[in-house]
Every structure is written in structure tokens, then in C-alpha cells.
Chain A
Amino acid sequence: MSAMKGERMSSPTDSSTDTGAGPDAGTTAGVDPAETAAATDAATGQPADASENAERDRAAVASTGAEPVATESLRASAATWRAFRKEPLGLLALAVMAVLVFVAVAAPLLAPYPGSYGDTVLEGPTGAHWFGTDSLGRDVFGEVIWGTQQSLLVAVLASLIAIAVGTLVAVVGAYFRKLDGPISVLVDLMLSLPVLPLMILIAALVGPSTTTIILVVAAFSWPEVTRIVRSQALTVVGLPYVDAARLMTTSPAWIITKHIIPAVTPVIVVSVVVTASRAVLSAAGLAFLGLGDPNTWSWGRILYEAQQSGAMSSAWWLTLFPSLAILALVLSATLLSIAYNDARNPKSRRR
């Protein structure tokens, strides 16, 4: 029964995140009903996703060469790249992402920091101000450019923290079976919390700053990572080569870092992208509510100030450009993860 419980609690999120991750998405969701039934029948206490997904994941591991042999994985990533190059949408997304990263890094060269008052207030896009000016006469183009830096910083740092914590918890749980039960209960409980209201609560009480935003977003993103990585890690731990590794060493840390983490890397890569794009949306949401860093420009802050000044109704450029920037980043991240999934997994390419 415990198997079914775990499955039912985790399955809904499966469909929602995975759809985000691409066409491969539904596969997991699709197995669910059968899986639930099967899991209940078996009732071995073995987590349901492990047994059912085992075959598929083994195939995935084999086809992607996630095996921790250096030359093998090199050849596999070359194959993935070859397949990836044939995806026009994936390449486009990669290009958009590259432009955004460039803009973030080169922000000081592209536009002066929009801090002071300007002389033309609420002016539409012109040659001098490409994206127009806001209610204090500041250049919106500069705000969007500097906002890119902030958004990418939050996305990268928050998702790195979430991935590190989430992966660690997942593999430790998968390796030490005694911990797996409590960990999966904790993850389920965390996932059932109302995330956005809690983020608002913490950001408001602690005081808005970039660090707060990063930590808050990371604190509510790791359970999702754990859930995704855990099901893959459970499969890997059951594979014969891990048993073989157990004969070689008594150090769990060695087995986890050398054998288990490399095998779950493909899942982590997709997870990074999905977590990062969610982090962008969460951070922008907090900033839109006025809980962003008041000293740094972010896309959400432009929208927040537009709404506060009451200019949102007349000055369309105040909302359009930051909105487009958010869409460009999140959409390209999503497309990138889909293309990566397709390139890595020939099974989903057929769809």
C-alpha cells in the first residue's frame, strides 16, 4: 500500500512538470493508471515508479550512454549533439538563450544604469529611447537590459542551490533505503504547500533583497528536483553495476558520486532548465508584488512600478517589453529542454 500512496502523491506532479519538459512528458503520466494498479497489486513496499519505469529508464540509460565510462559518455554526448543540431526550434532557443546571456554579461556596455530621473516622462519608443521612458523619465531599454542580468542571476543561483540540495537528498534517499520513506513523505508534504503565498510571506518578513529572493525560490524548488531525480536514482541503485561497485568499495560516498550521480545526470540537466525557468517566473512574480530588490532592476520591478504609478493603462511599452523578455527566457528554456530530451532519447523523437 505504501507503494501506491507514494505513487499517487507523486504522480500528479509528474504530469505537470514533465509536460513542461517536453513531448516525452506524457509518457510518465500515461503509465500512471496502470502503474497505480500494478503497484497496489504488488504491494511489495518497493516504490512503484522503480519497477514500472525500470525497463524504460534502462533503455534510456543505455541509449544515452549515461553509464559512467568516460569514453562511452563522450561518444553519447556527441551523438546527442548531432541529434540536437537537427532540431531547428532547439537551435533557435539556444540562440535566444545565448543572446540573453550576452545581454546580461554585457549590460554595462549596452546601456547606462537607469537610476536617475530623466527629462521626458512616459514617452513612447523613440530613436533615443528604444523601449520608451517610464513615469520618472528613465529609459525602459536600460531597465530591461539590467533586469536581464538580475533575472539570469536569480535563475542560475536559485536553480543551482535547488539542484544541489534536491539531488543530494534524492540520491542519499535512494541509496540508504531507510531514509527513503521519511524523505519521500517530506517531499510530498513540501509539494503540497501553497508555494507562492509562502514565498510572499518569507520575502516580506525577511525584507526584500536579491539574496532573499534567491534563497526563497531555492527553498521551495528543491522538493521538485528531489522527486524527479529520486525516481531515476531508485532505478539506477537497483542495477547490477551498482551491486558490483558495492563489492569494490564500502564507501557509499564513492559509489554515489562515481556511479549514481553520473547516471542521473540527464535528468538533472533537464531539471536545471525547468527549475531555472520557474525561478524566473517566481522571482518576477514576487517583484511584481513589490517584494523584489528595490535597489536592483528586474523585469518584475518594471511591471510593479508601472502598476504603482498608474501608467500601466496608458503606456503599453512599460509592460510589453519586460513581458516579452520574460517570455523569451522561459520559452527558450522550455524549448531547449524539449530539444535536449528529444535528442537524448530516440524514443521520444518518434512522436
Chain B
Amino acid sequence: MSLWSFVLRRFGRGILTIWFAVTVTFLLLRLLPGDPALAVASPNMTDEAREALLTQYGLNQPLIVQYGLYLWQLVQGNLGVSFTQSIPVLDVLMQRLPWTLLLTGTALVFTVLVGVPLGVLAAARRGTGWDRLVQIVGVTGQSLFVPSVGVLLLFTFGLTLGWFPIGGAYTNGTYGGEWYLSVIQHLVLPATSLVLIQLGSYVLTMRSTLIDALGEDYTTLAHANGMPPRRVLWKHALRNALLPTTTLIGLQLGFLVGGAVLTETVFAYPGIGRGIFEAVTQLDFPVLQGAFLMLALTVVVINMLTDLVYGLLDPRVKTS
């Protein structure tokens, strides 16, 4: 199979994934109860006023026509206009998405920076107290409830010690370097809670894949050749063990971007998850459709990046 047909297939797969997410969102919004006219006007509006609103937003056309029009607009890159804010959906999302990407990206970098060495430590000293400790931390980390961790951090470091701000993404009225500093300060607690939540999976995956890699023939051969154990561990075994971690990153990041809504709620962080929640309570259909499209797009892009990294890490993928 040639490289191009592989790329083409992956691309088709991505389009299919996006179409599926978009369609599911569209159908859920149209078929579940919930009157979007209520989102813009008072519940006491007259029937005529309601009709006029629905006509204005094109919501009284047959479902299939609405769907066709929606897809047609989408292909042209038109996401529509927000019901409640009367500005293009893209603008609404672009106020939100960068914050979520900053938050989840930072969390991811630190999770990998902490998680991979911890997993290596546990695997290299298998059966010792260190290993046991890392395993316990890993399993506990996987059982944490996001808001609990967030509130604990908020309570300890935000309120009691006063080291970090307790909500928002930046301090109003600051400019230049000061503004960047405030962004970093606001980032610390939410990012830390996301790191704590994810760390478990990374540590445990790293540990068990590395243990498998250390049991392979090629590591035995490397040892037999007199290569220093440290070099065998970090250079030979780790490179193979990183592959599943790469897939984990691809998958987790997609989840994280959507799942950050809980963290964003605790810390009043103006990200896309919180944006979705607010759009849901306002029944702002265009914003919701746009937001779910963005999430699907993020997942697809991340998966493609993962594939790329996979190819770089594992020469077998490229040749086959």
C-alpha cells in the first residue's frame, strides 16, 4: 500500500468522523425537546412572534431541508450566527478555543514530563518499594473525580495560602508582560488538576509497556553486547515503549479538550467546555453545532498528528 493511499484513507476517515459528530449533534438538537425560540425571546411571546423567530432562524422547515442547508453552509465554511449574541459562531468559538487549547496543552506537556520518568522509574526498579508506590499513585490517580481535585487545589493554594488566583484566565486591566504573567498564574491550578487526573494512565501505560520491552530479545542482546544498562533502558527499550504512550496522548487529548468542562467550571475558566455548557443552557443551536464541530476537528487533527509521530518513532510503520 502506497503512502498516498494511506494518507487518503486517513483523510477520508477524518471526514467521516467529523460528519458523524456533526450529524449526531444536529439530530440531537432537533429531535430532543427544547424550544430554541425561548432562548431569544420571553416565554410570554405571542405565537406569531414565535413563528417569526423560527422562520428567521429557519427552524420551521422540514428536518431534511434544514440538514441539507446546514451541511451546504458548513462546506462553504459558514458556521452561522449565534442566537443569543448575534455575532458569527466562529467569533464566539475563537474567544474560547485558544484558552482550552492552552490549558489542555500545558497539562499534557507536564503530564508527559512527569508521567514518563515515573513509569520508567517503576519499570526499571520493578518489584521494589518505588514500583509499588508508583503503581498505587497511578491507580489512585485514575480514580480521582475532577471537581474534587480542582476544589481541593482551589481551597488549599487559592484560598488558604493565597498563592494563586481562584478563577478566570487573566487579570483584567493588565497589559504586556504583566498580562502574560497573570495568564500563567491563572493557568497553574487548573492545569495541575488536569495533570493529576491524567497522570495515572500515563504512568501505568509507560510502566507496563517498558516492562514488556525490557523482556524482549533485543534488550537481552543489547545487554549481552555489553551495552551500559542505562543506555539500554533509555535508548533502546524506551523508544519502543513510547509508542503506546503516543497513542494514549492522541486519545486523551481529544477527550481532554471536551472533558475540560468540569475543570473549567471549577476555576471559572473561559474555555470551550464551559462555552458548550452555557450554550446548552441558552439553547444556542448554532454555537453548539459549531463547538461540536470544533471538538471533532480537534480529535481528527490530533489523531493525524499522532500518526505522524508514530511514523517518526517507528520505522516499521513507514515501510509497511
Residues of B in contact with A, size category: 35 or more
Main SS at interface, chain A: helix
Kindly list the 5 A-B residue pairs having the minimum CB-CB distance in the complex, ordered from nearest: A26-B208, A194-B258, A323-B148, A30-B212, A12-B251
Residues facing B in A199-235 (CB within 8 A) are 200-202, 204-207
Stretch at the interface among B45-53, B59-67, B138-146: B138-146
A178 CB, min distance to chain B CBs, angstroms: 20
With A19-B201, A33-B244 known as contacts, the answer to whether A323 contacts B145 (CB < 8 A) is yes
CA distance A40 to B9 in the complex (A): 14
Q: A189-B17, A289-B262 are in contact. List 5 more A-B contacts (CB 8 A).
A: A15-B245, A19-B208, A30-B211, A185-B16, A319-B148
Report A138 CB to chain B, min CB distance, Å: 19
Closest to B265 in A: A289
Subset of 9 A-B contacts with CB under 8 Å: A1-B6, A23-B208, A36-B317, A194-B254, A205-B28, A281-B146, A312-B151, A313-B166, A327-B140
Q: Given A13-B251, A33-B316, A303-B151, verify A20-B208 contact (CB < 8 Å).
A: no
- Per-residue B-contact encoding for A330-349, CB less than 8 Å = 1, 0 else: 11011100100000000000
Q: Give min CB distance, B104 to chain A, whole Å.
A: 13
**Do A195 and B146 touch across chains, with their CB atoms under 8 A apart?**
no
Chain A 159-179 interface 0/1 with B at a Cβ cutoff of 8 Å (1 = within): 000000000000000000000
A341 vs B74: C-alpha distance when bound (angstroms): 47
Residues in A with CB closer than 8 Å to B188 are: none
Given the complex, which residues of B lie within 8 Å of A312, measured CB to CB?
Answer: 151, 154-155
CA distance A322 to B147 in the complex (A): 11
- Give the residue name and chain of the A residue nearest to B252 (CB): A16
Q: How far is it, in angstroms, between the C-alpha of A195 and the C-alpha of B251 when the chains are bound?
A: 13
A319–B155 CB distance below 8 A: yes
**A30, B292: Cβ atoms closer than 8 Å:** no
- The answer to whether B292 and A194 have CB atoms under 8 Å apart is yes
Known: A192-B299, A193-B21, A289-B265. A284 touches B259 (CB 8 A): no
A residues at B contact (CB < 8 Å): 1, 5, 8-9, 11-13, 15-16, 19-20, 23, 25-27, 29-33, 36-37, 40-41, 43, 185, 189, 192-198, 200-202, 204-207, 277, 281, 284-285, 288-289, 303, 307, 312-313, 316, 319, 322-323, 326-327, 330-331, 333-335, 338, 351
- Chain B residues with CB under 8 Å of chain A are 1, 6, 9, 13, 16-17, 20-21, 24-25, 28-29, 32-34, 126, 135, 138-140, 142-148, 151-152, 154-155, 159, 166, 200-201, 204-205, 207-209, 211-213, 240-241, 243-245, 247-248, 250-252, 254-255, 257-259, 261-262, 265-266, 273, 276-277, 280-281, 283, 288, 291-292, 295-296, 299-300, 303, 306-307, 314, 316-317, 320
Contact across chains for B34 and A205 when beta carbons are under 8 A apart: yes
Is B143 touching A331 in the complex (CB atoms < 8 A)?
Answer: yes
Contacts of B276 in A (CB 8 A): 197, 200-201
Tell me whether B135 and A16 are in contact (CB under 8 A): no
Task: Report chain A residues within 8 Å CB of B251.
Answer: 12-13, 15-16
Q: How far is the CA of A19 from the CA of B244 in the complex (A)?
A: 11
- Please determine whether B205 and A25 come into contact, CB atoms closer than 8 angstroms: yes
Across the interface, name the chain B residue whose C-beta is closest to A331.
Answer: B143
